[in-house]
């Protein structure tokens, strides 16, 4: 099964993807996670991407499309993928259609996790992530990761000004994908402003799991 997770920054894409990985063993590809690792490793991609990410702007389409074209051909994707944070522009969505069609793997669904922007600003200012395993949590969970004991940190782009810019960028560049996938008869909208387990129950239901 090949799924796109759509939704504003902080809507809960990573949280829901982690549940699908843990329960269903699905392959999760987050362009944000790949880019943060590239920034940390100071690869050529990371060096180019850092400035855009710190400002909350999108990394240019050609860099992302090249990255995904390579990633989606790796063997771990053969049984299906959860795409989290890609595509984010119509150009990326069209490129994804071509990539999947070349691999003869149709997209099964585009799940939109829908959350009000003011809820998101509050969520992201208290989000913490584990430096070691990438687990997603909140400031209330304390400084140590419940899964692996690693150190929890705040993402550089989770300050209020950058979050507001990310929300504007989402409205302008990414929200048109809602109509794009509605037009392909692939869109499923899920109310993301509920307990994460309730959201997950809807995610599974919508995927026929």
Q: Which residues pair with 83 in a beta bridge?
A: 4, 29
Q: How many residues bind ligand AP5 (CB under 6 A)?
A: 33
| Window 3 to 62, contacts with Mg ion (CB under 5 A) | 14
Output DSSP code: residue 22. H
Residue 136's binding partner out of Mg ion, ligand AP5, none, with CB under 5 to 8 Å set by partner kind:
ligand AP5
CB of 184 to ligand AP5, least distance (A): 18
Close Cβ partners of 149 (under 8 Å, ≥ 6 residues apart): 132
Q: Which is nearer to Mg ion, 14 or 137 (by Cβ)?
A: 14
CA 37, CA 142: separation in Å to the nearest integer?
A: 23
Tokens of 120: 């998101």
110, 111, 167, 194 from 182: Cα distances, Å: 9, 10, 21, 23
Of the candidates 71, 65, 87, 68, the residue with the CA atom closest to the CA atom of residue 3: 87
Tokens of 190: 């899920």
| Window 110 to 139, contacts with ligand AP5 (CB under 6 A) | 123, 127, 136-138
Stretch touching ligand AP5 by CB under 6 A, among 31-39, 40-48, 72-80, 94-102: 31-39
Sole binder of ligand AP5 in the list 52, 114, 164, 178 (CB under 6 A): 52
Residue 2's binding partner out of ligand AP5, Mg ion, none, with CB under 5 to 8 Å set by partner kind:
none
Is 20 a binding residue for ligand AP5 by CB under 6 A? The answer is no
13-24 helix and 196-206 helix, angle to the nearest 10 degrees: 60
Q: Any catalytic annotation for residue 164?
A: no
Q: Which of 155, 164, 182, 204 is catalytic?
A: 155
140: number of Cβ within 10 Å: 7
Q: Any catalytic annotation for residue 71?
A: no
Pairing mode of beta strands 187-191, 109-114 = parallel
Is 180 a binding residue for ligand AP5 by CB under 6 A? The answer is no
List residues binding ligand AP5 (CB under 6 A): 7, 9-15, 31-32, 35, 52-53, 56-59, 64, 85-86, 88, 92, 123, 127, 136-138, 157, 166, 192, 194, 196, 199
Q: Name the residues annotated as catalytic.
A: 13, 88, 127, 155, 166
């Amino acid at each position: 099964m090949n799924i796109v997770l759509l939704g504003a920054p902080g809507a809960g894409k990573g949280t829901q993807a982690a549940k699908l990985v843990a329960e269903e063993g699905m392959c999760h590809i987050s362009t944000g996670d790949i880019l943060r690792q590239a920034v940390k490793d100071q690869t050529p991609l990371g060096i180019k991407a850092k400035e855009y990410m710190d400002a909350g702007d999108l990394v240019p389409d050609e860099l992302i499309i090249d990255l995904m074209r390579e990633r989606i051909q790796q063997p771990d994707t053969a049984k299906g993928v959860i795409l989290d944070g890609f595509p984010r522009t119509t150009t990326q969505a069209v490129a994804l259609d071509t990539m999947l069609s070349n691999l003869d793997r149709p997209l099964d669904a585009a799940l939109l996790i829908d959350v009000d922007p003011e809820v998101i600003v509050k969520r992201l200012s208290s989000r913490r992530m584990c430096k070691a395993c990438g687990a997603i949590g909140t400031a209330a969970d304390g400084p140590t990761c419940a899964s692996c004991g690693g150190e929890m940190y705040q993402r550089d782009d989770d300050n209020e000004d950058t979050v507001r810019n990310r929300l504007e960028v989402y409205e302008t560049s990414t929200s048109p994908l809602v109509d794009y996938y509605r037009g392909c008869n692939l869109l499923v909208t899920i109310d993301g402003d509920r307990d994460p387990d309730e959201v997950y129950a809807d995610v599974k239901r919508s995927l026929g799991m």
